[in-house]
Protein backbone atom coordinates (compact mmCIF):
# COMPACT_ATOMS: atom_id res chain seq x y z
CA UNK A 1 0.00 0.00 0.00
CA UNK A 2 1.45 3.39 -0.98
CA UNK A 3 1.42 5.57 2.14
CA UNK A 4 2.51 8.84 0.53
CA UNK A 5 4.87 9.44 3.45
CA UNK A 6 8.14 9.66 1.52
CA UNK A 7 9.86 13.02 2.14
CA UNK A 8 7.21 14.16 4.57
CA UNK A 9 8.53 15.75 7.80
CA UNK A 10 7.33 14.41 11.14
CA UNK A 11 7.81 15.57 14.70
CA UNK A 12 7.57 12.66 17.12
CA UNK A 13 7.69 13.78 20.74
CA UNK A 14 9.12 11.64 23.55
CA UNK A 15 10.62 9.29 21.01
CA UNK A 16 13.81 7.79 22.43
CA UNK A 17 12.08 4.69 23.79
CA UNK A 18 8.91 2.62 23.66
CA UNK A 19 5.99 3.67 21.47
CA UNK A 20 7.57 6.99 20.43
CA UNK A 21 10.75 5.24 19.27
CA UNK A 22 8.78 2.56 17.37
CA UNK A 23 6.74 5.32 15.69
CA UNK A 24 9.88 7.20 14.66
CA UNK A 25 11.42 4.09 13.10
CA UNK A 26 8.17 3.06 11.41
CA UNK A 27 7.78 6.51 9.81
CA UNK A 28 11.46 6.47 8.81
CA UNK A 29 10.91 3.13 7.08
CA UNK A 30 8.31 4.93 4.91
CA UNK A 31 10.91 7.59 3.98
CA UNK A 32 9.66 10.31 6.35
CA UNK A 33 12.27 12.75 7.73
CA UNK A 34 12.20 12.97 11.51
CA UNK A 35 12.41 15.52 14.29
CA UNK A 36 12.72 13.75 17.64
CA UNK A 37 12.92 14.82 21.27
CA UNK A 38 13.25 13.38 24.76
CA UNK A 39 14.89 14.59 27.98
CA UNK A 40 18.02 12.41 27.73
CA UNK A 41 20.38 12.39 24.79
CA UNK A 42 21.88 8.88 24.69
CA UNK A 43 18.87 6.79 23.73
CA UNK A 44 17.59 9.60 21.49
CA UNK A 45 20.87 9.72 19.55
CA UNK A 46 20.71 5.95 19.09
CA UNK A 47 17.22 6.14 17.54
CA UNK A 48 18.36 8.96 15.25
CA UNK A 49 21.41 6.95 14.14
CA UNK A 50 19.29 3.85 13.53
CA UNK A 51 16.79 5.80 11.40
CA UNK A 52 19.57 7.43 9.33
CA UNK A 53 21.51 4.21 8.90
CA UNK A 54 18.58 1.88 8.14
CA UNK A 55 16.34 4.20 6.17
CA UNK A 56 18.51 7.05 4.86
CA UNK A 57 16.24 9.79 6.22
CA UNK A 58 17.29 13.10 7.77
CA UNK A 59 16.87 13.32 11.53
CA UNK A 60 16.90 16.37 13.78
CA UNK A 61 17.01 15.91 17.57
CA UNK A 62 16.71 18.12 20.65
CA UNK A 63 16.66 17.25 24.34
CA UNK A 64 14.04 18.95 26.50
CA UNK A 65 11.03 18.30 28.69
CA UNK A 66 7.79 18.51 26.69
CA UNK A 67 6.13 20.25 29.65
CA UNK A 68 8.24 23.37 28.84
CA UNK A 69 6.09 25.16 26.29
CA UNK A 70 8.77 27.68 25.23
CA UNK A 71 11.07 24.75 24.36
CA UNK A 72 8.28 23.07 22.39
CA UNK A 73 7.74 26.22 20.35
CA UNK A 74 11.49 26.73 19.76
CA UNK A 75 11.78 23.08 18.69
CA UNK A 76 8.92 23.38 16.19
CA UNK A 77 10.39 26.60 14.79
CA UNK A 78 13.83 24.98 14.50
CA UNK A 79 12.31 21.97 12.70
CA UNK A 80 10.50 24.27 10.30
CA UNK A 81 13.71 26.26 9.75
CA UNK A 82 15.66 23.11 9.03
CA UNK A 83 13.18 21.23 6.79
CA UNK A 84 10.99 24.05 5.47
CA UNK A 85 7.77 22.39 6.62
CA UNK A 86 6.12 20.26 9.31
CA UNK A 87 3.62 17.76 7.91
CA UNK A 88 3.03 15.44 10.83
CA UNK A 89 3.18 15.90 14.58
CA UNK A 90 2.83 12.98 16.97
CA UNK A 91 2.50 14.15 20.58
CA UNK A 92 3.72 11.94 23.38
CA UNK A 93 5.13 12.15 26.92
CA UNK A 94 5.87 9.91 29.86
CA UNK A 95 2.83 8.69 31.77
CA UNK A 96 1.95 9.84 35.31
CA UNK A 97 2.77 7.62 38.32
CA UNK A 98 0.44 4.80 39.36
CA UNK A 99 -1.19 5.74 42.65
CA UNK A 100 -4.46 5.44 44.49
CA UNK A 101 -6.43 8.70 44.71
CA UNK A 102 -5.56 9.14 48.40
CA UNK A 103 -1.84 8.92 47.70
CA UNK A 104 -1.74 11.59 44.99
CA UNK A 105 -0.43 15.08 45.75
CA UNK A 106 -1.50 18.34 44.14
CA UNK A 107 2.00 18.61 42.66
CA UNK A 108 1.43 15.28 40.89
CA UNK A 109 -1.94 16.49 39.54
CA UNK A 110 -0.24 19.64 38.21
CA UNK A 111 2.56 17.61 36.62
CA UNK A 112 0.11 15.16 35.01
CA UNK A 113 -1.82 18.09 33.53
CA UNK A 114 1.39 19.68 32.23
CA UNK A 115 2.72 16.47 30.72
CA UNK A 116 -0.38 14.76 29.41
CA UNK A 117 -2.69 17.61 28.38
CA UNK A 118 -0.91 20.98 28.36
CA UNK A 119 2.09 19.68 26.35
CA UNK A 120 -0.33 18.65 23.58
CA UNK A 121 -1.74 22.17 23.52
CA UNK A 122 1.83 23.51 23.17
CA UNK A 123 2.62 21.24 20.23
CA UNK A 124 -0.73 21.99 18.58
CA UNK A 125 -0.19 25.75 18.94
CA UNK A 126 3.31 25.46 17.52
CA UNK A 127 2.63 23.23 14.49
CA UNK A 128 -0.92 23.96 13.29
CA UNK A 129 -0.09 27.39 11.78
CA UNK A 130 2.67 25.76 9.68
CA UNK A 131 0.28 23.01 8.54
CA UNK A 132 -2.36 25.62 7.67
CA UNK A 133 0.08 27.39 5.38
CA UNK A 134 0.45 24.22 3.29
CA UNK A 135 -3.17 23.07 3.65
CA UNK A 136 -2.03 19.60 4.70
CA UNK A 137 -1.33 18.17 8.12
CA UNK A 138 -1.65 15.34 10.57
CA UNK A 139 -1.74 15.85 14.34
CA UNK A 140 -1.82 12.55 16.22
CA UNK A 141 -1.93 12.34 19.99
CA UNK A 142 -0.80 9.28 21.94
CA UNK A 143 -2.87 8.80 25.09
CA UNK A 144 -4.09 5.54 26.58
CA UNK A 145 -6.97 3.08 26.78
CA UNK A 146 -7.64 5.06 29.99
CA UNK A 147 -9.53 7.65 27.90
CA UNK A 148 -12.27 5.05 27.32
CA UNK A 149 -11.96 2.72 30.29
CA UNK A 150 -10.28 3.80 33.53
CA UNK A 151 -7.23 1.72 34.47
CA UNK A 152 -6.92 0.67 38.14
CA UNK A 153 -4.39 2.78 40.09
CA UNK A 154 -3.95 5.23 37.19
CA UNK A 155 -6.28 7.94 38.55
CA UNK A 156 -4.00 10.71 37.23
CA UNK A 157 -3.93 9.27 33.71
CA UNK A 158 -7.66 8.38 33.78
CA UNK A 159 -8.58 11.94 34.73
CA UNK A 160 -6.19 14.17 32.82
CA UNK A 161 -6.05 12.33 29.50
CA UNK A 162 -9.79 12.48 28.88
CA UNK A 163 -9.33 16.21 28.24
CA UNK A 164 -7.27 15.27 25.19
CA UNK A 165 -10.39 13.76 23.62
CA UNK A 166 -12.24 17.07 23.90
CA UNK A 167 -9.23 18.90 22.49
CA UNK A 168 -8.80 16.47 19.57
CA UNK A 169 -12.50 16.53 18.68
CA UNK A 170 -12.63 20.34 18.87
CA UNK A 171 -9.47 20.86 16.83
CA UNK A 172 -10.63 18.35 14.20
CA UNK A 173 -13.72 20.50 13.62
CA UNK A 174 -11.78 23.75 13.56
CA UNK A 175 -8.93 22.59 11.31
CA UNK A 176 -10.80 20.24 8.96
CA UNK A 177 -11.31 23.07 6.44
CA UNK A 178 -7.49 23.40 6.31
CA UNK A 179 -7.18 19.74 5.28
CA UNK A 180 -5.55 18.88 8.62
CA UNK A 181 -6.67 15.68 10.33
CA UNK A 182 -6.42 15.33 14.09
CA UNK A 183 -6.74 11.95 15.76
CA UNK A 184 -5.90 10.20 18.98
CA UNK A 185 -4.37 6.76 19.49
CA UNK A 186 -4.98 4.98 22.80
CA UNK A 187 -2.58 2.14 23.47
CA UNK A 188 -3.58 -0.68 25.79
CA UNK A 189 -0.87 -2.56 27.71
CA UNK A 190 2.24 -2.37 25.53
CA UNK A 191 5.57 -4.07 26.23
CA UNK A 192 7.77 -1.05 27.04
CA UNK A 193 9.61 0.39 30.06
CA UNK A 194 6.31 2.01 31.10
CA UNK A 195 4.73 -1.39 31.75
CA UNK A 196 7.86 -2.50 33.64
CA UNK A 197 7.46 0.62 35.80
CA UNK A 198 3.77 -0.19 36.44
CA UNK A 199 4.68 -3.82 37.22
CA UNK A 200 7.27 -2.69 39.78
CA UNK A 201 4.81 -0.32 41.48
CA UNK A 202 2.26 -3.11 41.55
CA UNK A 203 4.82 -5.55 42.96
CA UNK A 204 5.45 -3.19 45.90
CA UNK A 205 1.77 -3.05 46.86
CA UNK A 206 0.55 -6.55 45.92
CA UNK A 207 3.68 -8.65 46.45
CA UNK A 208 3.26 -10.12 42.94
CA UNK A 209 6.36 -10.31 40.75
CA UNK A 210 6.56 -8.23 37.57
CA UNK A 211 6.03 -11.32 35.38
CA UNK A 212 3.01 -12.38 37.50
CA UNK A 213 1.58 -8.87 37.00
CA UNK A 214 2.05 -9.09 33.23
CA UNK A 215 0.42 -12.56 33.08
CA UNK A 216 -2.47 -11.26 35.18
CA UNK A 217 -2.92 -8.28 32.86
CA UNK A 218 -2.72 -10.48 29.74
CA UNK A 219 -5.55 -12.73 31.04
CA UNK A 220 -8.01 -9.85 30.60
CA UNK A 221 -6.92 -9.08 27.03
CA UNK A 222 -8.88 -11.01 24.37
CA UNK A 223 -5.73 -11.39 22.24
CA UNK A 224 -4.02 -12.82 25.34
CA UNK A 225 -0.83 -10.77 25.28
CA UNK A 226 0.61 -7.29 25.55
CA UNK A 227 1.06 -5.23 22.36
CA UNK A 228 4.46 -4.77 20.78
CA UNK A 229 5.26 -1.02 20.46
CA UNK A 230 5.51 -1.57 16.68
CA UNK A 231 1.83 -2.59 16.61
CA UNK A 232 0.85 0.80 18.05
CA UNK A 233 3.28 2.56 15.70
CA UNK A 234 1.70 0.93 12.64
CA UNK A 235 -1.66 2.50 13.45
CA UNK A 236 -0.02 5.91 13.88
CA UNK A 237 1.74 5.51 10.52
CA UNK A 238 -1.57 4.67 8.87
CA UNK A 239 -3.24 7.74 10.43
CA UNK A 240 -0.33 9.89 9.20
CA UNK A 241 -0.56 8.46 5.69
CA UNK A 242 -2.59 9.47 2.65
CA UNK A 243 -4.60 6.27 3.20
CA UNK A 244 -6.33 7.83 6.24
CA UNK A 245 -7.24 11.11 4.52
CA UNK A 246 -10.92 11.01 5.56
CA UNK A 247 -10.41 10.07 9.23
CA UNK A 248 -10.46 12.93 11.73
CA UNK A 249 -11.55 13.59 15.31
CA UNK A 250 -11.32 9.89 16.17
CA UNK A 251 -9.82 7.88 18.98
CA UNK A 252 -8.46 4.51 17.91
CA UNK A 253 -7.58 2.05 20.65
CA UNK A 254 -4.77 -0.41 20.04
CA UNK A 255 -5.54 -2.63 22.99
CA UNK A 256 -5.97 -6.24 21.80
CA UNK A 257 -9.71 -5.95 22.54
CA UNK A 258 -9.30 -4.98 26.22
CA UNK A 259 -11.90 -2.18 26.08
CA UNK A 260 -15.30 -3.85 26.43
CA UNK A 261 -17.52 -0.92 25.42
CA UNK A 262 -19.47 -0.68 22.17
Ligand X SMILES: NC(=O)c1ccc[n+]([C@@H]2O[C@H](COP(=O)([O-])OP(=O)(O)OC[C@H]3O[C@@H](n4cnc5c(N)ncnc54)[C@H](OP(=O)(O)O)[C@@H]3O)[C@@H](O)[C@H]2O)c1
Nearest to 10 by CA among 2, 54, 24: 24
Determine the length of the chain. Answer: 262
CA 178 centroid distance within chain: 23
Closer CB to ligand X, 115 or 155, in the complex: 115
> CB under 6 A: which stretch of 17-25, 171-179, 201-209, 244-252 binds ligand X?
17-25
Distance of CA 243 to the CA centre of its chain: 20
Residue from 103, 193, 220, 242 touching ligand X (CB under 6 A): that is: 193
- Nearest approach in angstroms of CB 189 to ligand X is 5
Compute and round to an integer the Cα radius of gyration of the chain. Answer: 18
Total number of residues binding ligand X (CB under 6 A)? 29
- Minimum distance, C-beta of residue 99 to ligand X, in the bound complex (Å): 14
User: Alpha-carbon distance 183 to 230, whole Å?
Assistant: 18
> Could you tell me the smallest distance in angstroms from the CB atom of residue 250 to ligand X?
17
**From residue 103 to residue 142, what is the string marking binding to ligand X with x (rule CB under 6 A)?**
------------x--------------------------x
Q: Which residues of 55-85 are buried (b: 16+ CB within 10 A; e: fewer)?
A: bebbbbbbbebbbebebbeebbeebbeebeb
Q: Is the dihedral of CA 30, 31, 37, 40 positive or negative?
A: positive
Q: Is 17 in the site for ligand X (CB under 6 A)?
A: yes
Which residues, numbered 55-94, are part of the site for ligand X (CB under 6 A)?
65-67, 92-94
If the CB atoms of residues 48 and 175 are measured against ligand X, the closer one turns out to be 48
Q: Does 235 bind ligand X (CB under 6 A)?
A: no
256 binds ligand X (CB under 6 A): no
Nearest to 35 by CA among 66, 17, 58: 58
Candidates 35, 38, 128, 156: give the one binding ligand X (CB under 6 A).
38
Cα angle, residue 142 at apex, residues 231 and 109 outer, rounded to 5°: 135
| Residue ranges in contact with ligand X by CB under 6 A | 14-20, 37-40, 65-67, 92-95, 115, 142, 144-145, 187, 189-190, 192-195
Amino acid sequence: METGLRNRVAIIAASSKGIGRATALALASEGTHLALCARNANALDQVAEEARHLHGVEVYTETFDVAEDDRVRQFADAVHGRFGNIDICVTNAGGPPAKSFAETTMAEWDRAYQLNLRSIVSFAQAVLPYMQQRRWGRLITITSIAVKQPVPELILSNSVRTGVLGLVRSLATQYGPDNITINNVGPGYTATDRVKELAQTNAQTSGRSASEYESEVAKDIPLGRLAKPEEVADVIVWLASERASYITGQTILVDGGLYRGL
